[in-house]
Structure 1
Amino acid sequence: MNKIALYLPNLCGGGAERVMLLLANQLADMGEKVDLVLVKSEGIFLDKVSMKVNVIDLKARNFLFSIFSLIRYLKAEKPQIILSAIEKANLIAIWANRFCRSRSKNIASCHNNLSNHYASAIHLKRIMCPLIKKFYPYADRIVAVSQGVADDLIQNFHINPNKIRVIYNPIVNADLILKAQEDIQHSWFENNDAPIILGVGRLTKQKDFPTLIRAFSLILQQIPAKLIILGEGEDRGRLEYLIKELKLENDVSLLGFVENPYAYMQRSDVFVLSSRWEGFGNVLVEAMACGCPVVSTNCPSGPAEILGNGEYGILVPVGDVEKMAKSIIKILTNKELREELSNKALKRAKEFHVEKAVEKYLQIFSEVCMGK
């Protein structure tokens, strides 16, 4: 039995955090010894950690200072594997492992298309991109959550392809399916007066909710509908201003973060991902697992892979308001198409079950421990 350490900042609700939580719980259920090593033991997912998982709170002030606590942990506990997620955590794990000359095998997981992620953050790009190019090669393996993310690492960060393994995120489990059946206290679902369009994600530039809101404005010119967006973030004020400017206050609802988005996915008529870029696109798979037809931008990288280049959902160009509106209307006004896409979505979502992903991680753990 291996001792496996999963290292990340906290469990504050992002996609990477949820993936690491699911991995930790599933690995522990399979009999592995799992330490969940957190820079700070905090976050909304904290109470979802299995009792079989040992939570290690480094109690560090920030990422940089966590390196000292992580070094002490590696020396004392000597895990066979340390798996990290999010770029800063990956770098800290690599540095700590090398500094203390640990025999732990270092696996860094990359959850975003880094070229796009840093494109608009010039100062951060100047710091992070050279560090990633220099130190990621010291990892024993790098897990990319999509082929697009892998290609970006190879082409733009010059990572050796032999070090990279593509493992789609573990998304679907029994808990998701159960939560999708829970009731929702919202008048739009109770009254059933108009079809409901759903978007889910942090209210940031990356998710490009302005395009979805503008597309929704065009939709209302042809059919009645409602738009619900779940998530919180720094762009809330801008989105509220846009909604008011387009006179959509009675038809758009920004509900903020909700603990159970799956119940909304189960009951919505169409799910829309409007992102400019993604690493994978977890919410797409979550919506599909709930049987919700999907429309997504064909952004780098993930959605095209998830949707089989349009076989399991509709892909539209990034930022194209008119094509997004037309695609949503096409689904909302065609019952047969809705049912077809719903069935295809359910079928495709099975490919992203937690157990399948964990099997692939275990294969990598075995590879690196055997020195392959």
Structure 2
Amino acid sequence: MAKLTVFLTSLDGGGAERSMVNLINGLVQQGITVDLILVKREGPFVPLVDPQVNMIDFGGKRLIASIGDLVNYLKREQPQALLSSLEDTNVVAIAAKHLARVATKVVVNVQNTVSQEFKHGTSLKKRLAPIMVRLFYPWSNAIVPVSQGVADDLIKLGLSPQLIQVIHNPVVTPEIAQKVNEPVTHPWFAPNQPPVIVGVGRLDKQKDFPTLIRALAKVRQQIPARLMILGEGSDRSSLEALVKQLDLTEAVALPGFVNNPYAYMAKASVFVLSSLYEGLPTVLIEAMAGGTPVVATNCPSGPWEILAGGKYGKLVEIGDIQGIAQAIIATLQQPLDSELLKQRAFEFSLEKSIEKYTQILQVN
């Protein structure tokens, strides 16, 4: 039987990792043999991997140092296909395949707009991303961006359209349909409480939560709303300082990473994506799957595609505090029909994604 190998650095709590776990679990449930190689076997999504998946731990070494282990694995196992995600991991996967001199098909998944990572990134890895993409990605067998916006960005970087096939992330799963109905014990979600705005994501520059917090201050001039941001990250202390500075301590909660964000999103009055850039923002689709009205920045890329240019939720300019506040107020006053939002979310289902991945990986 054809074997698929998935290569990731870890299963930290990001949308990319969550999407890959959804895909892996869906594939093994279709009877496909999957090896999941992790450079570091860590992260909150590790327990969510289906027990049928053969999980291999490379021992926590640095990613670049794991290339020898991956070469040896490919020579020994010679899987039908090797799927990786995120730029530096993709580069290592492509290099290892060619060093191993095996026939394994290498497919790289691209979750973010690379040019925006270069523009906004502060780390050397993100600054070098466009160069590494141009040098290495043409040596893959296929490139799978998660949205048309990401695909267009790759083509602008000089990659061949013939190598590129857009496949949306497998966001809406049977598990989500179950988890949205689970209870949330936080007192803000009790009956007769003020409306709760929810944001979800890593607490870092990309998600631009300072703009969302400042927008809340403007919303509260008209509506006594509260804001809850689910996630953890390096910007926690600066966000907490901003909340204090704006005298919003009683109106903003930062509970950190939660195991079931879907229940919180489903019970929110409005979900807001305030990002500077994305690939295909999973959390936006997850919120819609729970029937929650949404507001999003029209960032590159994904929100425009998901919301069909504003049909399924309000789109605002990046960093526009007043615009986000007005969109939140308008959405609170006149929310879209929840069933309409759920139907749109199901366009990004696990079934549709699996069908396309099995074709491109040739493992069905």
Tell me how far 1:184 sits from its aligned partner.
0.9
Per the alignment, residue 135 of structure 2 pairs with: 134
**2:88·2:125 contact (CA, 8 Å) conserved in 1?**
no
Greater alpha carbon shift after TM alignment, 102-111 vs 43-52: 43-52
Distance 1:224 1:40 in 2: 44
> Cα distance 1:252–1:360, how it changes in 2: closer, same or farther (>3 A)?
same
Tell me how far 1:318 sits from its aligned partner.
0.7
What amino acid sits opposite 2:207 in the alignment?
A: K
Tell me how far 1:126 sits from its aligned partner.
5.1
Per the alignment, residue 213 of structure 1 pairs with: 213
Q: Secondary structure at the match of 2:227?
A: strand
Q: Secondary structure at the match of 1:165?
A: coil
Per the alignment, residue 260 of structure 1 pairs with: 260
**2:41·2:60 contact (CA, 8 Å) conserved in 1?**
no
In the alignment of these two chains, the number of paired residues is: 363
Greater alpha carbon shift after TM alignment, 11-20 vs 267-276: 11-20
1:344 aligns with 2:350: no
Two-structure CA RMSD over aligned residues (Å): 1.4
**Structure 1: 5+ residue runs without aligned partners?**
none
Write the mapping of 1:161-176 to structure 2, written as runs, cut at 5 A: 161-176=161-176
Distance 2:225 2:145 in 1: 37
Tell me how far 1:129 sits from its aligned partner.
2.4
**1:11·1:17 contact (CA, 8 Å) conserved in 2?**
yes
Per the alignment, residue 145 of structure 1 pairs with: 146
Q: Secondary structure at the match of 1:106?
A: strand
**2:118·2:128 contact (CA, 8 Å) conserved in 1?**
no
Distance 1:105 1:339 in 2: 44
> Cα distance 1:43–1:125, how it changes in 2: closer, same or farther (>3 A)?
closer
Distance 2:30 2:120 in 1: 42
Per the alignment, residue 91 of structure 1 pairs with: 91
1:37-57: CA deviations, max 9, x gaps?
Answer: 111222211111112111111
Per the alignment, residue 351 of structure 2 pairs with: 355
Q: Secondary structure at the match of 1:166?
A: coil
Tell me how far 1:266 sits from its aligned partner.
1.0
1:317-338: CA deviations, max 9, x gaps?
Answer: 111111111111111123xxx2
**1:297·1:317 contact (CA, 8 Å) conserved in 2?**
yes
Q: Secondary structure at the match of 1:272?
A: strand
What amino acid sits opposite 1:166 in the alignment?
A: V
> Cα distance 1:17–1:125, how it changes in 2: closer, same or farther (>3 A)?
closer
Q: Between the two proteins, what is the percent identity of the paired residues?
A: 49
Q: Secondary structure at the match of 1:183?
A: coil
> Cα distance 1:124–1:43, how it changes in 2: closer, same or farther (>3 A)?
closer
**1:270·1:292 contact (CA, 8 Å) conserved in 2?**
yes
Tell me how far 1:128 sits from its aligned partner.
3.1
Q: Secondary structure at the match of 2:133?
A: helix
Per the alignment, residue 13 of structure 1 pairs with: 13
Write the mapping of 1:64-103 to structure 2, written as runs, cut at 5 A: 64-103=64-103
Q: Secondary structure at the match of 2:271?
A: strand
Per the alignment, residue 243 of structure 2 pairs with: 243
Specify which structure has the bigger relative contact order, considering alpha-carbon pairs within 8 angstroms and separated by 6 or more residues: 2
What amino acid sits opposite 1:360 in the alignment?
A: K
Distance 2:136 2:193 in 1: 55
What amino acid sits opposite 2:33 in the alignment?
A: K
Tell me how far 1:208 sits from its aligned partner.
0.5
**Structure 2: 5+ residue runs without aligned partners?**
none
Per the alignment, residue 63 of structure 1 pairs with: 63
Tell me how far 1:339 sits from its aligned partner.
4.5
Distance 2:330 2:296 in 1: 14
**2:138·2:159 contact (CA, 8 Å) conserved in 1?**
yes
1:286-318: CA deviations, max 9, x gaps?
Answer: 000011000000000000000111111111111
Tell me how far 1:22 sits from its aligned partner.
1.0
